[in-house]
Amino acid sequence: ETLDATGLAILPGGIDVHVHFRDPGYTHKEDWSSGTIAAAFGGVTTVFDMPNTIPTVATPEILATKHAIAADKAYVDFGLYAVLGEESLDHVEGLVEGGVIGFKLYMGNTFGRIPSPDTGAMLELFERVAPTGMRVSLHAETNTIMERREKRLREAGRNDPLAHLDSRPAVVAVEAVERAATLAEWTGARIHILHISSKEELRPLAEAKARGVDITGETGPHYLMLSTDDYARCKGVIRVNPPVREADCHEPLWNALKDGTIDMIATDHAPHTPEEKTRSVIWNCDCGFPGVETQMPLMLTAVAEGRMDIHTYVRASSEAPAKSFGLYPQKGAILPGADADFAIFDLSEEWVIDDFNLHSLSRISPWHGRKVKGKLKHTLVRGAFVVRDGSLVETMKGHGRSVHTIQRMPPAEPRNTDKTIAAVTAVPASADMP
Q: Give how many residues touch Zn ion by CB under 5 A.
A: 2
Shortest Cβ 314–ligand DOR spacing (Å): 27
Q: Does 88 bind ligand DOR (CB under 6 A)?
A: no
- Determine if 185 is a binding residue for Zn ion (CB under 5 A): no
The closest residue (CB) to ligand DOR is: 288
Q: Is 282 in the site for ligand DOR (CB under 6 A)?
A: no
Distance in angstroms (rounded) separating the CA atoms of residues 91 and 64: 13
| Contact window for Zn ion (CB under 5 A) among 223-231, 263-271, 391-399, 411-419 | 263-271
- Euclidean distance between CA atoms 355 and 107, whole angstroms: 32
Q: Which of 270, 358, 387, 396 is close enough to bind ligand DOR by CB under 6 A?
A: 270
- Considering only 268, 286, 293, 355, the residue that binds Zn ion (CB under 5 A) is 268
Is 20 a binding residue for ligand DOR by CB under 6 A? The answer is yes
* Among 297, 265, 291, CA closest to 376: 297
Among 107, 134, 240, 364, which residue sits at the site for ligand DOR (rule: CB under 6 A)?
A: 240
Q: Is 139 in the site for ligand DOR (CB under 6 A)?
A: yes
**Structural contact between residues 254 and 272, judged by C-beta atoms closer than 8 angstroms:** no
Residue 29 lies near Zn ion (rule: CB under 5 A): no
Q: Rounded to the nearest whole angstrom, what is the least distance from the CB of residue 224 to ligand DOR in the complex?
A: 16
Q: Which residues contact 88 (CB under 8 A, 6 or more apart)?
A: 58, 59, 82, 95, 103
Find the shortest distance in angstroms from Cβ 137 to Zn ion: 9
**Binding residues with ligand DOR: total (CB under 6 A):** 10
The reply on whether position 135 binds Zn ion by CB under 5 A is no
Chain centre distance of CA 185: 22
The amino acid sitting at 163 is: A
Q: Does 142 bind ligand DOR (CB under 6 A)?
A: no
Residues 276 to 315 in contact with Zn ion, rule: CB under 5 A: none
Among 13, 117, 220, 288, the residue binding ligand DOR under the rule CB under 6 A is: 288
Check if the beta carbon of residue 135 is closer than 8 Å to that of residue 216: yes
Give 54's DSSP letter.
S
Distance (Å, whole) CA 374 – CA 238:
24
- Tell me the three state secondary structure of residue 392: strand
The total number of residues written for the chain in this structure: 434
Nearest distance from C-beta of residue 82 to ligand DOR, angstroms: 15
Q: What is the C-alpha to C-alpha distance for residues 259 and 357, in angstroms, rounded to an integer?
A: 35
Determine contact, residues 410/133, Cβ cutoff 8 Å. yes
Site residues for ligand DOR per CB under 6 A: 20, 52, 110-111, 139, 240-241, 270, 287-288
